[in-house]
A and B are shown apart, each in its own frame.
Chain A
Amino acid sequence: MKIAVCLKQVPSRDWQPRVNEARTWVRDAEATFEMNEPDAYALEEGLRLKERHGGEVVVCSAGPARVSQVVREALARGADRAIHVESDALAAADGAAVAGALADAMGGEAFDLVLTGLQSDDQGLAQVGVALAERLGMPHATIIMEVKVEDGALRVKRELEGGWFQWVAMPLPAVLTIQSGINQLRYATLKGIMAAKKKEIRKVEAAACASRQRIVNLYAPQKTKQTTMIGGSAAEAAAELVKRLRDEARAID
């Protein structure tokens, strides 16, 4: 099976985002980056499917030159090769632009299965996987928690709201957006890191990508709730909190 896994590089979770002068994006030159978490689960699922059914795992990433960091990491974890659609404009692009750029680069590959994370930790638009399916002319299913390949067809477990699930069958080729927690992640071994150095990263130039939306103002969200903040040393804060929970909130005895 020829499996594509789409990966995004996003600012690290513990980076405190700061807004640029124009208030249109963050100062990402100051950021540290990591693999978008649901995409890491998509990669792991791709690697497991390859182990079960054979074939290859091709990592596809759209973004500036810096995304080669997560691409290398994916190769070190076991992906066979990579396609990097390179463009600075893709860093802050919307789902339509990213899906377009990926579809152009992936179209000729005839993948059997395309996996993406369900959304990204930066803009969180939750669009790329589904829009990519439409562009590639493939059926899709979203928020997937289990993947079975049986006789050239797919049977996947879709997460629904509030603890409900649903099995959905569909033919291959198809696109799935993967939910975090579908599997347990593996980490790169030293051997994997060494092997990754020799793996192919095909660079593709992005055609002009047109986002269909534009951030015009980026700011810290307004606070609406009156939170009683308790300060002091850990011991002082703990004493004050316990007192308030007993006497004021009556939440403990």
Chain B
Amino acid sequence: MILVIAEQRDGQLNKASWEVVTAAQRLSARIGGAPVKVAVLGAAVTAAAGEMAGAAVAEVLAVEHPALEPYTADGFVGALEPLVASQAPDYVIVAHTYQARDFVPKLAARIDAALITDVVGLAEAEGRPAFTRLVFQGKLAADVLPEGKPPCLVTCQAGAFPADAAARGAAPAPVTTVAATLDPASIRQKPEAPFREARQAVDLSQAARIVAVGRGIREQDKLPMAEELAKLLGAELAASRPICDAGWLPPERQVGSSGQTVAPKLYLALGVSGAIQHAVGMKASKTIVAINKDAEAPIFEVADYGIVGDLFEVVPALIKELQKS
């Protein structure tokens, strides 16, 4: 059996929950059609569980306890340990969200299970399913086999398995409500309500064109060159996270999973490697140009046009070219 753990907040399912249903169904097809079940955890999750029941799965478990809301790692692991013991799945599949990063490694350690994180695809090795993940900053891919006794825990990268490829059932799957066994006193984290920082001065999502600088720019003193290019293109200046971490540009100019999501007409990336956390924030851009000295950089995987070269030579040449007209 394959157990999917869906993610919901305030009754709203995370879209990535459908992506992991796709992953579970594809894995099931490789291991002789093992049944897929979906667990939804929270204080009252019948509506979200009902939504998941639209998927072609064997059963949806609404795992409820007042202490599961708000989310805490202690609460989730406390509820999941007995659930996994009683359901005895071969695989447990979760989306690689911030929430999963927070509780899945704890669950794996608690039940002494293999945990393969941030998976982007399925492979096969030694006659059983292997899981593909990117390593060394996306420069290499690795097919990985779990070792030891089941279950094997797997988290899937956002967007790796398409949500709309999840097979839907002819009739809704049965929903079973499970009262979680959980001692509220065992929850040590006391979370407060999520918030956003003060209103952001720049709204990059409205920009028609963006010039983004990455660590390839090397020094803060080199930023004016990128600014000049941006000005000539009528573009806003943006950056990868390390540039904002260093304080060279304000955080509101950061593009990516922990920054802004943008989709301009033109996105020109200078010395950005194209890590997944950056790519998710810009890959919907209409035209993407990458200038990078490393021909193997993952950014070329999302780029429409690429120049392999030193940005300190290419950018001045671009500025010159644009000044001509």
Contacts and interface: CB of A to CB of B under 8 A. Distances in A.
B170 interface: no
A219 B140 contact: yes
Contacts of B318: 238, 241-242
Given A122-B136, A142-B102, A181 B115 contact: no
B45 to A, nearest CB: 20
Interface in A171-208: 171, 174, 179-181, 184
On chain A, which size bracket covers the interface?
35 or more
A118 B191 CA distance: 19
B196 interface: yes
Contact of B305 (A180, A239, A241, A253): A241
Contacts of A166: 191-195
Given A216-B143, A237-B314, A162 B257 contact: yes
A227 B130 contact: no
A160 B194 contact: yes
A89 to B, nearest CB: 14
Interface in B273-308: 286-287, 289-290, 294, 296, 298, 300-308
B109 A99 contact: yes
Nearest to A130: B105
Given A162-B257, A181-B241, A251 B117 contact: no
A238 B103 CA distance: 48
Contacts of A96: 108-109, 114-115
A245 B242 contact: no
B206 interface: no
A87 interface: no
A230 B287 CA distance: 15
Interface in B83-140: 97-98, 101-103, 105-106, 108-110, 113-118, 123, 125-126, 130, 133-140
B117 A126 contact: yes
Given A11-B136, A161-B97, A242-B321, A223 B141 contact: no
Is chain A's binding surface mostly helix, strand, loop or mixed?
A: mixed
Contacts of B138: 221
B105 A131 contact: yes
Contacts of A222: 141
A131 B109 contact: yes
Contacts of A220: 139-141, 296
B144 interface: yes
Contacts of A17: 136, 139-140
Contacts of B294: 16
Contacts of B321: 235, 238-239, 242
Most chain-B CB neighbours within 10 Å: which of A11, A99, A133, A168? A168
Contacts of B137: 13, 121, 124
B145 interface: yes
On chain B, which size bracket covers the interface?
35 or more
A173 B130 CA distance: 38
Contacts of B195: 164-166
A45 B305 CA distance: 40
B258 A16 contact: no
A49 B142 CA distance: 38
Nearest to A238: B317
A211 interface: yes
A214 B114 CA distance: 10
B147 interface: yes
B297 to A, nearest CB: 10
A178 to B, nearest CB: 12
A212 interface: yes
B265 to A, nearest CB: 5
A1 interface: no
Contacts of A237: 307, 309, 314, 317
Interface in A91-135: 95-96, 99, 118, 121-131, 133-135
A26 interface: yes
B231 to A, nearest CB: 13
A129 B105 CA distance: 9
B313 interface: yes
A121 to B, nearest CB: 6
Nearest to B107: A134
Interface of A: 11, 13, 16-17, 19, 26, 37, 95-96, 99, 118, 121-131, 133-135, 139-143, 158-171, 174, 179-181, 184, 210-225, 227-231, 234-235, 237-239, 241-242, 244-245, 249, 251-253
16 contacts: A19-B140, A96-B115, A122-B135, A126-B105, A130-B73, A131-B105, A131-B106, A142-B98, A162-B261, A165-B194, A170-B189, A212-B147, A225-B303, A239-B317, A241-B307, A245-B289
